[in-house]
Amino acid sequence: MTPLHPLAQASGVYAIVCQNTGKCYVGSAQKFWLRWAQHLRRLRKGNHHSWKLQQAFNVYGEAAFEFRPVLRCELKDLMLFEARALVTFKAVDEGYNVSRDVESPMRGRKHTEATRKKMSGPRGPMSEGTKQRMRESAALRPAPTEEFKAKVAEGVRAYYAEHEVSEETRKKLADTSTGRPVSEKSRLALIERNKAGKGETRTLNLSDAERQRRVDANKARAGKPRKGMTPEQRAIHSEKLKAAWEARRAAGVKRGDGRSPRKKPVRVAVNS
């Protein structure tokens, strides 16, 4: 079936029939041709959700399968007629369907241990093509309005005002953020935001428990010497300073340029 087929844009119940065996796979679709294209893509990749249909496809080949619209119906009746077609064509017992429940295909079934490990394991790196498609999709999305940003920020503040964050969660967040590289765009945005906020008093919307925790933490630190940097942190800080000075030197900036000149002390003669 192609997009030019008379029923390509129609909705209803379909059957994917193997001409070599006479067995079929039954399903429902909002658009016949789009659903058939989705099935073909999965079958060609070898990861179709119906292992029985995938095995038959691997054995007999793509040319042995035919997509046949069974009946047309409205979208609200798709599940009803698909369930009836499963029984009529014996698609589960003798065909390529693996579930009798059209609304929840995994109901009453369990994933194998190998499938569970594959689902929970780390995913491989994304291809450059996938990354490029994600960039293009993100570029087409409209930028959030200031009103939307304000609503999101208000919702976040309200949530944390009512829910206290545990120490374990704080530690996890700190460990996750430590060592994370900051892009040049984010760094410049932070600088501009800090410049705009200078001289203004920020009011934190904190819960009473969080305020008390901060007060107790400040009292506990009172009178204690502050912890200095570790040797690793000191080395990283030194390397960053050296890199910054090298960049300034390469740009022709001399030490002291851009600073306000020191005021010379004024000598006042006192007559004795």
Q: Mean pLDDT throughout 53-74? A: 94
Crossing angle (nearest 10°) for helices 51-60 and 32-45: 70
Confidence (pLDDT) at 20 = 93
* Structural domain includes residue 31: yes
Tokens representing 176? 């996750």
Q: What is the pLDDT of residues 234-244, one digit of tens each?
A: 888 888 888 88
pLDDT band for position 272 (50/70/90)? very low
Q: Which comes out higher in pLDDT, residue 198 or 34?
A: 34
Confidence (pLDDT) at 131 = 86
* Structural domain includes residue 222: no
Q: What is the pLDDT of residues 225-264, one digit of tens each?
A: 666 677 888 888 888 888 888 888 888 776 665 555 555 5
Confidence (pLDDT) at 234 = 83
CATH number of the domain that residue 63 is part of: 3.40.1440.10
Report the distance separating Cα 13 and Cα 73, nearest Å: 8
Round the average pLDDT of the chain to a whole number and report it.
Answer: 81
Q: Which comes out higher in pLDDT, residue 249 or 266?
A: 249
Report the distance separating Cα 86 and Cα 14, nearest Å: 11
User: Which residue type does 149 have?
Assistant: K
DSSP-derived secondary structure for 158-191:
HHHHHSPPPHHHHHHHHHHHTT----HHHHHHHH
Q: Does pLDDT of 32 surpass 90?
A: yes
For 15-62, the three-class secondary structure string (H helix, E strand, C coil) is: EEEECCCCCEEEEEECCHHHHHHHHHHHHHHCCCCCHHHHHHHHHHCH
Residue 51: which domain range?
Answer: 12-111
* Structural domain includes residue 37: yes
* Structural domain includes residue 32: yes
List, in sequence order, every residue forming a beta bridge with 13; answer none if it has no partner: 28, 71
pLDDT band for position 182 (50/70/90)? confident
* Structural domain includes residue 16: yes
* Structural domain includes residue 95: yes
Q: Mean pLDDT throughout 19-44? A: 93
* Structural domain includes residue 106: yes
Is residue 32 a contact partner of residue 1, using CB atoms and an 8 Å limit? Answer: yes
Confidence (pLDDT) at 192 = 81
As for how many domains the chain has, the answer is 1
* Structural domain includes residue 36: yes
